[in-house]
Structure 1
């Protein structure tokens, strides 16, 4: 029998999606499920984006340029300028989601067995992208007790080796909701300049900063022009996860030229989705104001309800729409599966994402879960009630 590649065998399952078969079986048994496991907002996509596709008069759905249409990239550059980020359209490569932008970044700056330092917990697919690229993740642990703040710079320096090529952050963070301060970005800036590394910042949740805090981009930091690579996406900003449009942004011309070769190899990003994404840039600020107000309300509700449960520890997010909760269980994978297979209240249960998959250090985070507060307040209150009752009867 032909064998599967070692890379394929090492490819991790998504902690966000691996429980889907159990959820499907639960639904077949008549259970209703509150999906807290995936960052799929229930916020409506801006009508202007959907209407642009409906109004399209395209006769032939052709390839776009490999780097994305020039008109769209010009408008993206204008959008960034409104956020005090000065880049040109040729500093931007449009990608098939932020995921492809990360793969292009990894392929452009790292070789097999090179190393990338990432504060953990981190977006689970960073493990998958690293495996696919043959790159080693070197984690630096941030802790729930510190609200997942940036670890001391000394912790990063201890991990740097001749194989280290980059530091990767998600700001605001998935799965923690942590928002890096301007001071923390400056600290990272100093370390990547000192050791001649790249600083990759996944900034897809830029709009979602709470409590009067503002987002500070790596692209705003002077002196990082040759070091900074920004990853972005329309998925969360405009509730357009299915569009699969993102971008890679860098003022480093060699990085852009190299990433373009990867872009050419996959031909082009999807044309209709670019039309929708270009139109979405006309979305008024009032849309974001309302969305942020809604998410702050949901966050406050979720955190308040979780804090009422004995034995549960939770970090308060400053951005995005996720939080990490530590549960009084030994293994959250087993608990999450048990919720779907064996527990319900009035035939309702919940689906959560076990947080162990958001770490690369074995054994860390195995009693934690990630919750995406992408449901309305009433649903979140009901979901936490189910969690509270489940913890009362669950046996490790």
Structure 2
């Protein structure tokens, strides 16, 4: 029998999606499942984006430019300038989602056996994409005790070898919700310059920050022009996860030229999605004001409710719409599956994402879960009630 590749065998399952069959079975039994496992916002997509698809007069659905249309990239550069990121359309490659942006970036800056340093827990696909690219993730552990703040810069320095090509962060963070301060980013900048590394920042949650704290982009820092790479996406910003449009942003011309070759190899991003994404850039500021206010209220409802559960520890996110909770159990994977297979209250249960899949250090995060507060406040309160009941009834 033909053999599957080693890298295919090593490709990790998604901690977010691997329990879907159990959730579907629960629904077939008539159980209502509250989905706290995936960052799919319930916020409505801006009408302008939907209208651009509904009311266009396209007669032939042709290829788009591999790097994205000039008009869209110019509008993107204007958006970035409003966020203290001074770039032009020539510094942008449009991709099929932020995931492809990361794949193109890793393909452009690493060779087989190279290393990237990532604070963990981190977005699970960073692991998968690294395996697919034949590179090694070198984790540096952050802690729930300080809400997953940046580890000591000296600890980063100890991990740098001649194989290290980049440091990768998510800001604000998925799965932690942590928002890096300007001081923390400046420390990373100095490290990247000192060792001639790329600094990659996944900034797809840029708008979603709370408590009056300002988001700082790595590309707003001086001295990083040749080192900084932003990964971005319309998915969360405009509640357009299904559009699958993202981009790479960098002033490093060699990086952009190399990423363009990957973009040309896959031909182009989907034309209708590009139309919707370009129209979404016209979204008025009040849209974000309302959305951020809603997420902030959900954040506090969730954190306050979780804090009432005995033995549970929860981080306090300052951005995005996720938090990590540490449960008084040994195995969150088993617990999450048990809730879908064996637990319900009034024919209702809850689905969470076990956090072990957001770590690459073996054995880490085994008693933690990631919660996405993308449901309305009433559903969040009921979800926490179900979680509390499940913890009381869980046999293990």
TM-score norm. by structure 2 comes to 1.00
Question: Which residue in 1 is equivalent to 2:175?
Answer: 175
- Once residues 54 and 74 of structure 1 are traced to their aligned partners in structure 2, the CA distance between those partners, rounded to angstroms, is 23
> 2:290 matched to 1:290?
yes
> 2:164 matched to 1:131?
no
Q: CA deviation at 1:146?
A: 1.0
Q: CA deviation at 1:393?
A: 1.1
- Once residues 315 and 304 of structure 1 are traced to their aligned partners in structure 2, the CA distance between those partners, rounded to angstroms, is 11
Question: Which residue in 2 is equivalent to 1:334?
Answer: 334
Question: Which residue in 2 is equivalent to 1:352?
Answer: 352
Question: Which residue in 1 is equivalent to 2:323?
Answer: 323
Which string of whole-angstrom CA distances, capped at 9 and with x for unpartnered residues, describes residues 226-251 of structure 1? Answer: 00000000000000000000000000
Question: Which residue in 1 is equivalent to 2:279?
Answer: 279
Q: CA deviation at 1:307?
A: 0.3
Instruction: Report SS of the residue matched to 1:158.
Output: helix
- Once residues 229 and 33 of structure 2 are traced to their aligned partners in structure 1, the CA distance between those partners, rounded to angstroms, is 38
Instruction: Report SS of the residue matched to 1:62.
Output: coil
- Once residues 59 and 224 of structure 1 are traced to their aligned partners in structure 2, the CA distance between those partners, rounded to angstroms, is 44
- Once residues 92 and 382 of structure 2 are traced to their aligned partners in structure 1, the CA distance between those partners, rounded to angstroms, is 43
Question: Which residue in 1 is equivalent to 2:386?
Answer: 386
> 2:155 matched to 1:155?
yes
- Once residues 322 and 101 of structure 1 are traced to their aligned partners in structure 2, the CA distance between those partners, rounded to angstroms, is 22
Which string of whole-angstrom CA distances, capped at 9 and with x for unpartnered residues, describes residues 125-146 of structure 1? Answer: 1010000000100000000001
Question: Which residue in 1 is equivalent to 2:236?
Answer: 236
Q: When the two structures are aligned, how many residues end up with a matched partner?
A: 396
Question: Which residue in 2 is equivalent to 1:56?
Answer: 56
Question: Which residue in 1 is equivalent to 2:309?
Answer: 309
- Once residues 59 and 73 of structure 2 are traced to their aligned partners in structure 1, the CA distance between those partners, rounded to angstroms, is 23
Q: CA deviation at 1:267?
A: 0.3
Aligned pairs for 1:2-41 within 5 A: 2-41=2-41
Which string of whole-angstrom CA distances, capped at 9 and with x for unpartnered residues, describes residues 324-350 of structure 1? Answer: 000001000000000000000000000
Q: CA deviation at 1:58?
A: 0.8
- Once residues 3 and 133 of structure 2 are traced to their aligned partners in structure 1, the CA distance between those partners, rounded to angstroms, is 20
Q: CA deviation at 1:55?
A: 1.4
Q: CA deviation at 1:114?
A: 0.2
Q: CA deviation at 1:175?
A: 0.1
Which string of whole-angstrom CA distances, capped at 9 and with x for unpartnered residues, describes residues 278-334 of structure 1? Answer: 000000000000000000000000000000000000000000000000000100000
Instruction: Report SS of the residue matched to 2:159.
Output: coil
Question: Which residue in 2 is equivalent to 1:376?
Answer: 376
Which string of whole-angstrom CA distances, capped at 9 and with x for unpartnered residues, describes residues 151-207 of structure 1? Answer: 000010000000000000000000000000011110000000000000000000000
- Once residues 269 and 318 of structure 2 are traced to their aligned partners in structure 1, the CA distance between those partners, rounded to angstroms, is 32
- Once residues 175 and 393 of structure 1 are traced to their aligned partners in structure 2, the CA distance between those partners, rounded to angstroms, is 27
Aligned pairs for 1:121-270 within 5 A: 121-270=121-270
Deviates more, 1:98-107 or 1:55-64: 55-64
Q: CA deviation at 1:395?
A: 1.9
Q: CA deviation at 1:225?
A: 0.3
Q: Which runs of 5+ in 2 are unaligned?
A: none
Q: Which runs of 5+ in 1 are unaligned?
A: none
Runs of 4+ residues over 6 Å off in structure 1: none
- Once residues 305 and 272 of structure 2 are traced to their aligned partners in structure 1, the CA distance between those partners, rounded to angstroms, is 42
TM-score norm. by structure 1 comes to 1.00
Q: CA deviation at 1:62?
A: 0.5
Instruction: Report SS of the residue matched to 1:34.
Output: strand
Instruction: Report SS of the residue matched to 2:268.
Output: coil
Instruction: Report SS of the residue matched to 1:310.
Output: coil
- Once residues 86 and 254 of structure 1 are traced to their aligned partners in structure 2, the CA distance between those partners, rounded to angstroms, is 18
- Once residues 114 and 84 of structure 1 are traced to their aligned partners in structure 2, the CA distance between those partners, rounded to angstroms, is 32
Instruction: Report SS of the residue matched to 1:116.
Output: strand
Instruction: Report SS of the residue matched to 1:166.
Output: strand
